[in-house]
């Protein structure tokens, strides 16, 4: 794009792009059907004794991933640059006015003035690569953990990549293509697309069932408009849960939470389902929705909301919904392995807390700066939240609800995922 193009026109275009974005054209979706780089065949998988379990922490604004011990003191193991091809990608964006507009729109809206380079990530089963979704570059890449170089790159349909999920056997990864209302399912070793399916507006969270038979996708609609009062909720788009067969990628069920919320007496609640987690037997789904300080319980068999948990508000948090990041109030939810405790990231209220699942009684409110995600440590003892406002992760004991430790990481940590690296790995060569 010529440097002489005025900043004013660019800013106006960028501000409009995400608001008016619709599904990608058939041509753009077709262009994303295969990786643009030749895949590198994965080496023969190492035995379990050659692998080390770790936590990958995606530093979204940094374009890095910190790798930590998965439990205990969560000491740093290494760091990965997840945008080693940044110069090449930026040259492509600068040469394409439409890509440039969307790139700037992401920066000025969901990115809060920053580029989004590391949304979600999973390691391959052999611990030799990490697969990362990169919103600002609208792609998914596989990075060789030994060299730091790309194995493959998959451009998603549309102009933004978002949350991912990995199949229980670690062989497939599902990624939401936000502006295309599409989820791609890729072979994790080659980047080859195995299938895709349509969703509601702005697909977000993805979850594989533990048997690997189904994928649940939650669409959240337009979270960047200022029409945040409940009376304008209908303007946020078509938001629902899409359940598909994970082999055929055919839709098997659609769950419209608007109807379920209304039936529970929550007509003023948003039906944008944010982070969610199943109980161990998958009979219950616990989920957060836009603008709400708490979570809901959904019974899968009876297809209805059964309980509501409202968590404390921080009196310092503005009640002006337009000041809440991407329509969130609370964003981040995990459950300990035996299903007795839930851990909640109170994003806009600046705390995290552990909640007893049976009684729904919360424990201590652990101060945290804009906690953006919650996951479970490798040993299952701790909840790990990413403090995006403090550039650290914090571990909280599920049993006591008390803080264990905090570890500094890169700029704006968001997703935290368990994974594996080679046992002797301390970072890519030359890092």
For residues 344-348, give the mean pLDDT. 98
How far is residue 67's CA from residue 81's CA, in Å, rounded to a whole number? 11
For residues 31-56, give the mean pLDDT. 57
Q: Higher model confidence: residue 181 or residue 17?
A: 181
Residues 189-202: pLDDT tens digits? 999 999 999 999 99
10 Å CB burial of residue 422 (0-12, 13-18, 19+) is middle
Q: Output the pLDDT for position 134.
A: 98
Distance of CA 374 to the CA centre of its chain: 11
Whether 315 has a pLDDT exceeding 60, the answer reads yes
Whether 148 has a pLDDT exceeding 50, the answer reads yes
In total, the chain counts a number of residues equal to 431
98: its two tokens:
């439409």
Q: Output the pLDDT for position 39.
A: 35
For residues 384-404, give the mean pLDDT. 98
φ, ψ dihedrals at 97, nearest 5°:
-55, -40
How far is residue 173's CA from residue 153's CA, in Å, rounded to a whole number? 13
- Mean pLDDT across the chain: 90
Rounded percentage of the chain residues whose pLDDT exceeds 70: 88
Q: Output the pLDDT for position 47.
A: 54
Distance of CA 100 to the CA centre of its chain: 23
Residues 221-255: pLDDT tens digits? 999 889 989 999 999 999 999 999 999 999 999 99
pTM of the model: 0.89
Whether 293 has a pLDDT exceeding 80, the answer reads yes
422: its two tokens:
């080679």
Q: Output the pLDDT for position 270.
A: 96
Report whether 141 contacts 152 (CB < 8 A): yes
For residues 160-180, give the mean pLDDT. 97
The three-state DSSP-derived secondary structure of the chain is CCCCCCHHHHHHHHHHHHHHCCCCCHHHHHHCCCCCCCCCCCCCCCCHHHEEEEEEEEECCCCEEEEEECCCCCCEEEEEECCCCHHHHHHHHHCCHHHHHHHHHHHHCCCCCCCCCCCEEEECCCCCEEEEEEHHHCEEEEEECCCCCEEEEEECCCCCEEEEEECCCCCEEEEEEHHHCEEEEEECCCCCEEEEEECCCCEEEEEECCCCCEEEEEECCCCCCCCCCHHHHHHHCCCCEEEEECCCCCEEEEECHHHHHHHCCCCCCCCCEEEEEECCCCCEEEEEECCCCEEEEEECCCCEEEEEEECCCCCCCCCCHHHCHHHCCCCCEEECCCCCEEEEEEHHHCEEEEEECCCCCECCCEECCCEEEEEECCCCCEEEEEECCCCEEEEEECCCCCEEEEEECCCCEEEEEEEEEECCCCCCCCC
Whether 104 has a pLDDT exceeding 70, the answer reads yes
Q: Higher model confidence: residue 241 or residue 21?
A: 241
pLDDT band at 107 (very low <50, low <70, confident <90, very high): very high
How far is residue 65's CA from residue 409's CA, in Å, rounded to a whole number? 9
Report whether 394 contacts 385 (CB < 8 A): yes
pLDDT band at 45 (very low <50, low <70, confident <90, very high): very low
């Amino acid at each position: 794009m010529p440097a002489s193009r005025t900043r004013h026109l660019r800013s106006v275009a960028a501000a409009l792009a995400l608001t008016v974005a619709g599904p990608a054209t058939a041509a753009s979706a077709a262009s994303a059907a295969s990786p643009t780089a030749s895949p590198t065949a994965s080496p023969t998988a190492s035995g379990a004794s050659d692998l080390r379990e770790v936590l990958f922490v995606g530093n979204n604004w940094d374009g890095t991933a910190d790798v930590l011990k998965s439990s205990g003191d969560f000491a740093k193991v290494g760091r990965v640059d997840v945008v080693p091809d940044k110069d090449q990608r930026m040259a492509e964006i600068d040469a394409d006015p439409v890509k440039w507009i969307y790139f700037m729109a992401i920066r000025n809206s969901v990115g809060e003035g920053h580029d989004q380079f590391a949304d979600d990530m999973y390691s391959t089963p052999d611990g030799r690569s990490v697969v990362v979704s990169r919103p600002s570059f609208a792609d998914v890449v596989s990075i060789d953990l030994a060299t730091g170089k790309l194995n493959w790159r998959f451009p998603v349909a549309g102009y933004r990549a978002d949350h991912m999920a990995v199949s229980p056997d670690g062989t497939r990864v599902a990624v939401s293509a936000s502006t295309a209302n599409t989820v791609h399912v890729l072979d994790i070793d080659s980047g080859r697309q195995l299938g895709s399916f349509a969703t509601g507006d702005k697909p977000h969270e993805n979850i594989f069932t533990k048997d690997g038979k189904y994928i649940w996708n939650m669409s959240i609609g337009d979270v960047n408009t200022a029409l945040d009062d409940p009376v304008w909720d209908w303007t946020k788009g078509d938001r629902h849960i899409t359940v598909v067969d994970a082999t055929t990628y055919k839709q098997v069920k659609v769950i419209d939470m608007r109807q379920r919320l209304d039936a529970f007496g929550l007509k003023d609640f948003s039906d944008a389902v944010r982070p969610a987690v199943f109980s161990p037997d998958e009979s219950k789904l616990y989920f957060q929705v836009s603008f709400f300080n708490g979570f809901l319980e959904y019974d899968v068999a009876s297809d209805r909301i059964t309980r509501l948990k409202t968590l404390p508000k921080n009196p310092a948090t503005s009640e002006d919904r337009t000041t809440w990041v991407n329509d969130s109030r609370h964003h981040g939810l995990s459950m300990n392995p035996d299903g007795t405790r839930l851990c909640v990231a109170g994003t806009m209220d600046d705390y995290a807390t552990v909640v007893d699942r049976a009684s729904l009684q919360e424990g201590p409110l652990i101060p945290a700066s804009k906690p953006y995600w919650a996951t479970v440590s490798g040993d299952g003892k701790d909840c790990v939240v990413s403090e995006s406002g403090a550039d650290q992760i914090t571990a909280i004991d599920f049993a006591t609800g008390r803080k264990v430790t905090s570890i500094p990481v890169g700029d704006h940590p968001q997703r935290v995922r368990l994974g594996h690296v080679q046992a002797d790995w301390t970072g890519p060569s030359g890092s």
